[in-house]
Every structure is written in C-alpha cells, then in structure tokens.
C-alpha cells in the first residue's frame, strides 16, 4: 500500500477521534461552548435547605433561569445562605418574589422554585447582591412524619 493512502487513512482516523470527542463534549456532557454566560447574583436565607446542591437549577414556572452558585452558613444566626446565579436575560424580578425549595418527582432532585411577586410603585426590582426575603424551606420527610405522629398522639 502506498504511503499516500496510509496517511489519508490515518488522517481520517484522527479526524474521527476528534469528532467523537466533540460529540461526547457537546451532545453528551452538554458543555456550553460560550461558558456560563452573563449572570447576576441574588442571595436568600433558608431555615433548612434539605438536599439542595451547588449547580441545582432555579426554575420559574418550570423554565430554568439560573443555577445555585454557592451554599454557605451565616455564622451570626446559623442559617444557610444560598447564592443564586441568574441569567442576565431575566433581570426584572420584583423584591416581593418568593423562593421555595421543591422536589422534582417523588424521589427526584431538589431545585429552587422562584415565584415572581406583584409590581407597583413602592416595589423595587431585585439587583445584583440583593436578598430575597420570602423563602420557604425544604420539606424534610422525617420532620413531617414526626409532626404527623405528634398530632396523632395529642388527639
């Protein structure tokens, strides 16, 4: 076999390898080429974050508008602080909006549900670094069962 044909086949082989790497990176791992995009930060304090994790989704009516960027503990009142990175395209949530920790399906992952509040003259729009005051904690199954048993026992 002449060397031209060998080189051609090897080039084809390497190109196929690069193509499969790109396939795995883009289609399978879902890596975004443009990076994470422009985001701004909001913060929220919860009583209990349950199984919420960094990179959990933030949804408004089921549409993903951002992801959890960091979870820390405020050492003054020992409450978890969740830092949200929200897409710059969605930048007009009023500060009456509320945030709750929800579960997708019975055993699914936990995500943050953002419910936009009403808007009038006195309500301001949330900007970078603002806190969302109205938060609802995660449902912890053990606590729920405990409350149920307690209320059964007191009857």
Where do contacts with another protein occur on this chain (CB under 8 A)? Answer: 3, 6-7, 9-10, 12-14, 16-17, 20-21, 23-25, 27-31
Closer to another protein by Cβ: residue 4 or 122: 4
The nearer residue to another protein, 20 or 72, going by C-beta atoms, is 20
Tell me if 131 sits within 8 A of 123, measured CB to CB.
no
Nearer to another protein, 10 or 125 (CB): 10
List b or e across 13-34, with b for residues whose CB sees 16 or more CB atoms inside 10 angstroms. Answer: eeeeeeeeeeeeeeeeeeeeee
CB of 59 to another protein, least distance (A): 13
- Least separation in angstroms between CB 57 and another protein: 9
CB of 64 to another protein, least distance (A): 10
Nearest CA among 66, 48, 47, 46 for reference residue 56: 66
Handedness of CA 98, 104, 106, 108 (dihedral sign): negative
């Amino acid at each position: 076999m002449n060397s031209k044909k060998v080189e051609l086949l090897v080039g084809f082989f390497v190109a196929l390898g690069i193509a499969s790497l790109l396939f795995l990176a883009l289609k399978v791992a879902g890596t975004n080429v443009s990076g994470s995009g422009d985001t701004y930060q909001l913060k929220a304090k919860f009583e209990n974050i349950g199984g919420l994790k960094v990179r959990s989704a933030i949804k408004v009516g089921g549409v993903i508008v951002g992801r959890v960027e960091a979870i820390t503990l405020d050492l003054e009142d020992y409450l978890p602080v969740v830092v949200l990175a929200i897409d710059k395209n969605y930048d007009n949530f009023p500060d009456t909006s509320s945030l709750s920790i929800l579960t997708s399906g019975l055993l699914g992952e936990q995500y943050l549900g953002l419910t936009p509040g009403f808007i009038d003259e006195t309500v301001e729009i949330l900007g970078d670094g603002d806190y969302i005051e109205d938060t609802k904690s995660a449902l912890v199954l053990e606590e729920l069962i405990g409350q149920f048993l307690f209320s059964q026992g007191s009857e």
